Amino acid sequence: MALPHFLADPPRFLFFTGKGGVGKTSLACATAVRLAEQGRRTLLVSTDPASNLTEVLATTIEHRLTAIPTAPGLSAIEIDPEASADAYRDRILTPLVGELPEAEISAAREQLSGSCTTEVAAFDEFTTYLADPAVLEDFDHVVFDTAPTGHTIRLLQLPGAWSDFLATGTGDTSCLGPLAGLDKHRATYAAAVAALRDTSRTRIVLVTRAQPSALAEAARTAAELEETGIRPSHLVVNGLLPASPADQSDPLYEATRSREQAALASRPSSLDALVRDEVAFCFPAPVGVPALRSLLAEHRAEPLSTEPEPAGDDTATSRGTTDLAALVDDLEAAGHGLVLCMGKGGVGKTTVAAAIAVALADRGHPVHLSTTDPAAHLTSTLPEAVPLLTVSRIDPAAAIATYREHVMATKGRDASDAERAALAEDLRSPCNDEVAVFNQFAQVIREARRGFVVLDTAPTGHTLLLLDATGSYHRDMVRLLGPDKTGYRTPLMMLQDPTLTHAVIVATPEQTPVSEAAALHSDLVRAGITPWAWVVNASLAAARPASPLLRLRAAAEQRQLDRVEALADRVVVLPMLASEPVGHDRLASLVHGAVTTTS
């Protein structure tokens, strides 16, 4: 493999972004390791609320600068949204102690407890790594490992959104504290915007897989970034399967490779404007500095592993005798309810959600299939109409516009011109965007009281922020109406009702997706939401491949399947398929082609 183009003459800032599960973290870490080994002081920053730098670097990374002992010259930090929010609240509220009554300080703290403040605080910290002189003095390069695309677009838009808001605003924001803190950093935000838009200082690298949905997502991301004045310059197609040896034949391997090549051949034409690199599939996944060093080595042309194939790779398929239809049987028995498909980006949440929805509709039940994922492709997974099935998408832009119109038509209806102008100014605050999306999310949840709703959620970090907004709304209702829950029913209470809500965690049988899904499992339990089932998607062990490379990877799945079974009461294992499960017929057959276990 030749030196990747995105590593040639690197600027100070490098951003790796793309659809979830395409390998952004591995490539960002490998790039940071390489820069450090070239004697360049390098900082690796994760902006993903569900970051896994600790696993990939094999070093504990926390919400502080951490030197990587195995890579001299490299430091890393994970922007922890909650830690950022705590520090942000302290900065806002500490000066008020002794100046205001305790009741007012407590009220202000409550107003700063929502997802809006969490997002603003994380954004506030993010900009320091683009514009803080102290950071720029200490490091030659800053490499950003970003959250899945939808969340990243939002993050990259925020510097411009807040700069515009601060430039035009004269009052306070709907969450009070943020503007007071943000206004102090107006110059920092302006500098961050300038850095992001300057291609001589910032290189935006889109990472994708050779899959139609991932390539379409890369094209959409490029267009949305262009609209903000941020210009992607490079495209990395990651994880490509090499040609199989002439003496080996495996229908699954050949079908997968042919599908990859066909996807590349039919890629969106807009991607041709980007400088393209291709990185070969490697096994095992690059974990630790030595493996990361090898990932982008010029001489690498084959998968990393040369270990002999272990035996016993079929054990994962002998764990049960029922299938995904058994989960649908249990859902159907209640006659209505909410199914939340949750997990890391790129693990197949959309496919699982669509398959469950199709199965329920085929059994004669009206079903609403929706998504909160800004990067979702429900219509690509299910392009045709299905009787009794309604498909929708919670579009953040449309939700925001609807919310603003509603507030102006109600709260601003009888207001004076000055009051309407102030209200319109307040609604321009990006703080209101999460509120707008939450309102539509809550509306979809309520439909589950009368029928079936299947919700394909955004990748983990963004979903947790949405659940945080749900919790903030619940706390507001409790404060206003009292702790007696008999008079009202908030969306959080509905999510916590196991007779109504079924949380299905989706993962692929690999270390990072399972670790992130396990963390999500714990987060849901802490929020009072009981995970109902796990679906392990795209299992090679369940597919029983003949290719030595695929069998090697299949055998490694066992440890991850054991981890899942230790956590979950219901586990469904879906096999890797030779063709994409697109359309009604293939989704319907997926329901009857899995292995289910109960513990």
Residues taking part in catalysis: 21, 23-26, 48, 512
Name residue 205's amino acid.
V
Nearest by Cα to 459 from 517, 514, 417, 379? 517
440 vs 457: CA distance, rounded Å: 13
CB 469 within 8 A of CB 383: no
256 vs 585: CA distance, rounded Å: 20
Query: Tokens at residue 571, please?
Result: 């586990």
The order of strands in the sheet holding 570-575 is 389-391, 367-371, 452-456, 337-342, 501-507, 531-539, 570-575, 595-598
The alpha carbon torsion through 470, 476, 479, 482 (nearest 10 deg) reads: -50
546 vs 249: CA distance, rounded Å: 7
105 vs 517: CA distance, rounded Å: 37
Nearest by Cα to 19 from 196, 155, 213, 203? 213
Query: Tokens at residue 136, please?
Result: 């720029």
36 vs 13: CA distance, rounded Å: 14
CA 198 to chain centroid: 26
Query: Tokens at residue 24, please?
Result: 């952004």
The stretches of 247-385 forming alpha helices (DSSP H) are: 251-265, 289-295, 324-334, 349-362, 378-381
End-to-end, the C-alpha distance of the chain in Å comes to: 46
SS3 173: coil
361 vs 163: CA distance, rounded Å: 47
CB 491 within 8 A of CB 441: yes
Angle between helices 511-526 and 548-567 (to 10 degrees): 20
The half-sphere exposure of 357 on its side-chain side, counting CA atoms within 13 A, is: 32
